[in-house]
Every structure is written in C-alpha cells, then in structure tokens.
Amino acid sequence: MSMTQGRQKAASGTRRSPQLPTKLLVSILVAIVGLVLLVVAARALRELPAVQEFIARYPGETELPEGAPVGLPVWLNATHFLSSLFLLLIIRTGWQVRTAKRPAGHWTRNNSGPLRTKNPPKKITLELWLHLTLDALLVLNGIVFLVLAFATGHWVRIVPTSWEVVPNAASALLQYLSLNWPVENGWVNYNSLQQLSYFAIVFVVTPLAIITGLRMSGAWPANAPRLNRAFPIEWARAVHFPVMLVFLAFIVVHVALVLSTGALRNLNHMYAARDDDSWIGFGVFAGSVVVMVAAWFLARPVFLRPVASLTGKVTR
C-alpha cells in the first residue's frame, strides 16, 4: 500500500458522522424562540380586560346546527387511520422524488385495458409510481369520507355554518398560545380553531395537493395550450412542495394536541368510536403505529418491484 493510500484510508476511518445542516439548526432555534415569544405575548394579552371580555364573549367554539350527530362513528375512525397512513407514505415518497439522485428503478404502465392510450406510456421512477399510487388511494379514501360525511350529517362538524367561527377561532388560538387551553369535548363538537383547520385540510389543502400533483404528472393533457397557459407547470411546482410542508406541520401539531389534551379519551374518539378513558383506543392506536412502521419498512424497492410489475414493466 502506498503512503497516499494509507493516508486516505486513515482519513476515511476517522471521518465524522454527518451533522445536521447549519440552516436547519438555525431554523429550529428560530422556531423555538418564536414560539416562546408567542406564548409570552399571549399570556400578557390575557391579562388585559378587553381580551378577557373578548374570550368571555367568544369562548372558542360555536354551536352546531340542531340535529347535528354526536360522536365519531367507526367509518370515521377507519378513514382517519387510512388518511394518516397514506399521508405518511406520501410525504416520504414525495421527499424521495424531490431529492433522489439515483432512482431505485423505473416503471412503465401496461398499455392495455381501460387505461389504453394512443401514445406509448411514459417511463417513470419507482418512487414516483408509489407516490402516485398512494395519491390515488388517498383520493379514493377521501371520496368515501365525503360521501359518508354528507350522507350522515357529520359534515357540519368541519364545515363552518356561522361567521362567528372566526372570532371564536382567534379566541381558541389565543387560549392555546397562553397555555390555558379551551375546554373542549371533541366527541360532541370541535372548537372553532379545529373546525377551521379540518375544513382547510379537507377542502383547500388536499385539493391543492391533488391539482398541482396532477399538473406535474403525465396524466395532464400536453396538447391543451390554453389550459397550460392558464395553469403553468411552474405554478404547480411552486405550490406542491409548500403544500407538503403544510400537511407535515398539521400532523405535528395535531398529534401533539391529541396526546397533551387528554390522550386516552382523544384516542378512544379517534380509534375506538367511544367516549371514555379506557385503554381500548390506545391499544388500537398502538396497533396502527405498528402498521405504519411496517408499511414504512415495506416501501422499499425489493418489495415494491413485484407489486409494481403487476400493472407495468419494471426496469432498473
């Protein structure tokens, strides 16, 4: 071994493990400092008589219309879990599509059956195939949720029916930030901030993710100049990634509040369709986490290639 090779080997042996990027560390620090400042400001505001009167007038939730259903049914628990599972994997695959330098493989759709087209199908990466497949499953699950929500009347729990939801949402936000959280019972009614958040996710953020993703996919009509000028692909690219960040932020805040505002009761609402403090919901939740971890592990090329080959040709 030459002296140069020996030095290179020694250097590689003592190489430090990669560290978090400086920008990421700075962003985390700024976020923490900003959150602390918001809490301090909110607690100071709550000492003001005018703010106390505002909270007394708008406690944080609006009354539901008469006859609104009570409780969270099993179908809502099921669609909630599937949405969580699909979103987790969509965020993972979306990041892989954005950052992967060497695709794990490629997939070309079989040009037969009801999806037959005049032009030959385009070859896409295996990561993009999984991302698009998960997108389709999320959309299908969303359609089932909306049909059942409007058929059973549960839509009134996430769709505002009064403009009073706005000041009540502001009141709930102030109460959360001051760490003196609003009294709530999600089994009967969401507070106004929750209602607006769920409405935005279901009827604004998700459609944005779908339409911008569709614009960037091969399914978008290429020979439609007016449509393409009205909705340039650059706009879709500029919006699609921030939408993913909105989903990620929503998930983090949502999980944190579920676990910190009465975990057992909240988990029973969301996973066991019951309103008590038993451990049944926690058990179902733990099982769902196992399923998510397994799905994360199975979303690897060695397992994906056989599945993808059922509907197309898989190549390296």
Average pLDDT, the chain: 88
What are the residues facing 185 on neighbouring strands? 189
Predicted local confidence at residue 67, as pLDDT: 87
pLDDT-derived band of residue 261, with 50, 70 and 90 as boundaries? confident
* Among the listed residues 114, 109, 126, the one whose alpha carbon sits nearest the alpha carbon of residue 218: 109
3-class secondary structure per residue, 37-99: HHHHHHHHHCCCHHHHHHHHHCCCCCCCCCCCCCCCCHHHHHHHHHHHHHHHHHHHHHHHHHH
* Residue-by-residue DSSP string for the chain: --HHHHHHHHHHHTPPPP---HHHHHHHHHHHHHHHHHHHHHHHHTTSHHHHHHHHHS-S--PPPTT---S--HHHHHHHHHHHHHHHHHHHHHHHHHH-SS-S-EEEE---GGG--SSPPPEEEHHHHHHHHHHHHHHHHHHHHHHHHHHHTGGGGTS--STTHHHHHHHHHHHHHTT-PPP-BTTTB--HHHHHHHHHIIIIIHHHHHHHHHHHSTTS-SS-HHHHHHS-HHHHHHHHHHHHHHHHHHHHHHHHHHHHTTHHHHHHHHHTS--SS-SHHHHHHHHHHHHHHHHHHH-SHHHHHHHHTTTEEEE-
Predicted local confidence at residue 2, as pLDDT: 47
pLDDT-derived band of residue 248, with 50, 70 and 90 as boundaries? very high
Identity of the highest mean pLDDT range in 16-20, 220-224, 276-280 = 276-280
What is the average pLDDT across 208-222? 87
Predicted local confidence at residue 281, as pLDDT: 95
What is the average pLDDT across 282-294? 96
